[in-house]
Structures are given as C-alpha cells and as structure tokens.
Amino acid sequence: MLPTLWSLVLAARGMPPFHLFAIFVTGSFVMRSAGVVLNDLADRSFDRHVTRTRVRPLASGELSVTHALLVVGFFLSLAGILVLLLDPLTILLSPIAILLAGLYPFAKRVIHVPQAILGIAFGWGTIMAWTASQGAIEAPAWCLFAATVCWAIGYDTIYSLQDREDDRRIGVKSSALLFGSSTWLAVGTVFCAMLLLLGLAGWLAHIGWIYYGALTAIGVWCLRQALQLRQTVPTPTAFHMFQQHVWVGAAVLIGMVAGFLL
C-alpha cells in the first residue's frame, strides 16, 4: 500500500483526491490478500518442510485447494470492481498486476533473487496509481517503481534470513542464500539505490527540502540495519527488522506530504 500512496501523493503534489486514496488503499489490501493465498497455494508442498510455515492452513491440510481458489476468486473480483472505477489506461494496465501476483510464487524455483519479482509486483501499484492521477506514465513514476523493487529486495532478503537453512535443505532459491556472508553489503546497496531513486523522483516533482531531510534520516537508519547484518541475526531479530520497514515506508510518505504542504 505505501509505495502506491507515495505515487498518489507525488503525482498530486500533496494530498491526492479522496476517491483515488480509497480505491488504492482498498485495492492494495485485496490484491495483497490474493497474492498471499496464491503464494501459499503454490508453496504448500514446500511449506510442510519449513519450521516457520508448516502450520499454514494449506500446508497443514486445514484448508483445501478448492477453498484457496474460491478465496482468490473473491479477492480478484473485488479488485476488478475497483479497477473499473478508474480511467481506461489504468484499466488496461491492471491485468499485468494479476500476472505479476501469479508469477511471484514460482520465482523462487527459477531465479536466485525472487525478491525482485516481489518488488516488481508491489511496484506495479505505483505505475497504476500514477496513471490514475495523471493519465500517463511519467519519469517520477518509474523512479518510484524502481525504488520499490530495491526496497523489496532489501527487506525481503532480511525476511528470508529466517528460512535460510530450511531453504538450503529443500532446494528453494533465495537472496539470503545467494548473498551469503555479503548479505549486509547487498542489503545496504539496494537500500542506498532505493533512497537515490526516491530522491530523484522528488527532484523531478519539485518537492520541498523536508522530504530530503526525511530521506537522510531513513538512510542513517537503513545503514544501521545493514551493519547489524554483519553478525549472525537470530530468527526473531530478522523478523523484527523486517517488520520495521512499515515505518520506513510511512516515513517516506510523511516526508512527501510535508515536502509539498510545509
């Protein structure tokens, strides 16, 4: 939701129209929900062998594939209704969001950084939000899209540290396994790229200095987190570090709003 709101705020140069805010907040919820079910459906055989995920309803057999498909259909129907409230270009872009949501669960079988596909799926919301606001895809939207991809690679690599040993045992690919002892450096690099892209997006949109102050503070915090990864990170700590990125996204959003309104 948060990258989508970045796009709405930047495109509107402040507060976006309420109807777009409501549509994209709701749309983020229903598409993320559909994506989670699709992910659990695709991974149910893997999840049975991972300590953290073996109690998931599909992995444990508590729910069936039919149940999962019905839930996915329900959420995609809601998303379709929401999209029909938007302009023709955004409607044309919407099937790509469904395709990306469906591709991500299988990425870990093919590429070593499936987190990039996750970021692309999440980032597509920034493109749709921009077109809904401006009727076209402009350079700041692509900067926000790329920033979202970098951010997802970073925070989801931290998340994947929880399952590193299980992933290695069952043959699932992940960035935590690929980067190994250099995970701290890789995470720091993508966070740096994220902040540079967010700064470029703001510069193209002629945002105020408060925004750059917020990015600087976020950069210091991200550096601290990257350095923390130089040591072995216990599973609860990795999950806590991952959860903290909600506040990173919120800080970017607050900085954007303040950059235009103050």
Q: Is the pLDDT of residue 109 over 90?
A: no
What is the model's pLDDT at position 70? 94
Count CB atoms within 10 A of the CB of residue 221: 15
Q: What pLDDT is attached to residue 120?
A: 95
- Lowest mean pLDDT of 41-50, 152-161, 189-198, name the range: 41-50
**pLDDT at residue 136 in the model:** 94
Evaluate if residue 131 carries a pLDDT over 90: yes
pLDDT tens for residues 38-51? 888 887 877 787 77
Position 168 scores a pLDDT of 78
Q: If you average pLDDT over residues 110-125, what whole number do you get? A: 92
- Range with the poorest average pLDDT among 6-10, 67-71, 224-228: 67-71
How far is residue 199's CA from residue 207's CA, in Å, rounded to a whole number?
9
Specify the residue for token string 């659990």: 40
Q: Is the model more confident about 169 or about 68?
A: 68
Instruction: Tell me what pLDDT residue 237 has.
Output: 94
Instruction: Let me know how many helices (H) and strands (E) the chain has, helices first.
Output: 14, 0
Segment 199-214 shows an average pLDDT of: 96
Lookup: tokens for 257? 């709003």
pLDDT of residue 159: 92
Supply the range of the domain harboring residue 119. Answer: 2-261
DSSP, res 161: G
Residue 208 contacts by C-beta under 8 Å, 6 or more apart in sequence?
A: 258, 259, 260, 262
CA distance 135 to 218: 31
Q: What is the mean pLDDT of residues 179-208?
A: 96
pLDDT of 34 strictly over 80: yes
| pLDDT above 80: residue 228 | yes
Let me know if 125 is exposed, middle or buried by CB neighbors in 10 A (0-12, 13-18, 19+). Answer: buried
Q: What CATH number is associated with residue 135?
A: 1.10.357.140
Nearest CA among 96, 132, 148 for reference residue 21: 132
Q: Provide the domain count of the chain.
A: 1
- Can you give the pLDDT at residue 176? 87
- Residue for token digits 């550096």? 223
pLDDT at 60 (0 to 100): 83
